[in-house]
Amino acid sequence: MTRCVDDGALSPGSALQERLQKWPGQLGRLRYQLLGALILGVLMPVFFRWGFDLEGWLLPLQVNTILASSVAIVLALLAQRQFTALPGVQEHVFLMPTLLMSFLVIFAMMFFLRIEYNRYLFPSSFAIALAWVLFAQTVARRYRPMRFAVVPGGDVSGLASARGVEWHKLTEPRLPRVSLSGIVVDLREDLAPEWERFIANCALAGTRVFHIKQLQESVAGRVEIEHLSENTLGSINPDAVYLSLKQAGDFLLALLVLIITLPVLVLIGLAIRIESPGPALFVQSRVGFRGQTFSMIKFRTMRVAKVPASDPREAAMTRPDDDRITRLGRFLRRTRLDELPQIFNILRGEMSWIGPRPEAIALSQWYEREIPFYRYRHIVRPGISGWAQVNQGHVTAVDQILEKLHFDFYYIKNFSLWLDLLIVLRTLRIIVTGFGAR
């Protein structure tokens, strides 16, 4: 009978040594990070202040702060765990912004509701919880790397290019004696009976078994386009409930941002008019939600020039080091401030904050002729920023657009609040670095 693991017995000393070696990796589990953060970050500072004085522990401001800090820590770690399920996410990179955002939200609620709190405990809980979780995740990453056993056969050659993952290629239906994250197999391949029994036994033993295509999507953050089918995309239509909730949230946030940034919009518009002749705004017809055209608004970043009617497709492209871009325009493009007027597109329901970038009509028609099912990307509202933008940057060539479609389809397939929040965080980093701007 083919078994999932080798039945060779371990000596008591070897078994104890193996358990000790695995223990640091257990710090990567949510329960240990949460327990340590609550004990060290919440209870320990209160103990140092009040010791065994029960009356001090039960003071209203003390109880309120303990509860508030605990809720903030729980929400932050649950949110971070959702982020880490997405491709290319390193826990330690998003730990501080996620924890800080959670504490700020809880603090704002207490402030506006006039709930008294301990000014010493609240920031102390944040700092200690951050230090503990960062330590736990660093240790876990050192002692518990992502490892997968690879069943031979089928299209498994592309796995080697994935970074930060160890691949153990199997030569016989038996797992190596190392801690594994799962087994990878091309389920489209006709496998030998002993391999099929091996995979079934591993699944029954609790070992996770991944189809090669599923893992490639998770690691790379893109959906390979073969044919438009439910097997490829999971669902032809994105979540209708979240689609409606997202539109409502987009509208409210756009209204708030418009009120706050209106003076900035006016100043940028005046600066553009002073630097070069022409209008402050650039309006272009683009293809949007459900294939409908709309007028997208941006700040003008190029000098006004006559567009040759013979080649509108070329005029719609921005070339590397394009000499039409003004000095102010380069700054606006690098910081993405040129996209701010699209707030009005969001208020009109034509765009979202997050989604596939809308293309000019000439380019969209060209891509539709060259790439099958290109129009499928219009099933969600286009966005100011998107999954393709934070992974790939600005592209125009057909082969690059096909690559961009892989990212767009991944976004549609995994359409969710968590993916949108991850794109927001990466967009903020891009605004600082200027990645992908032209």
Strand ranges inside 121-181, DSSP E: 146-150, 165-169
**Rounded mean pLDDT, 229-244:** 64
Asked if pLDDT for residue 106 goes beyond 50, the answer is: yes
Asked if pLDDT for residue 79 goes beyond 80, the answer is: yes
375: Cβ–Cβ under 8 A, 6 or more apart, which residues? Answer: 291, 368
User: What is the band of 237 on the pLDDT scale with cuts at 50, 70, 90?
Assistant: low
Percent of the chain residues past pLDDT 90, beyond the cut: 23
Q: Find out whether 371 and 398 touch, Cβ atoms under 8 Å.
A: yes
Q: Which residue has the higher pLDDT, 218 or 191?
A: 191
331-371 tens-digit pLDDT: 888 888 899 999 999 999 999 999 999 988 888 888 888 87
146-150 and 165-169: which strand pairing? parallel
Q: What predicted TM-score, i.e. pTM, was given to this entire model?
A: 0.64
Phi, psi dihedral angles at 185 (to 5 degrees) = -150, 145
Predicted local distance difference test score (pLDDT) of residue 238 = 74
* Mean of the per-residue pLDDT values of the chain: 80
Q: Find out whether 28 and 179 touch, Cβ atoms under 8 Å.
A: no
Q: How many CB atoms lie within 10 A of CB 274?
A: 10
Angle at 179 between CA 146 and CA 33, to 5 degrees: 65
Three-class SS state of 383: strand
152-182 tens-digit pLDDT: 877 666 665 555 677 888 888 888 877 777 8
Rounded CA-CA distance 368/189 in Å is 32
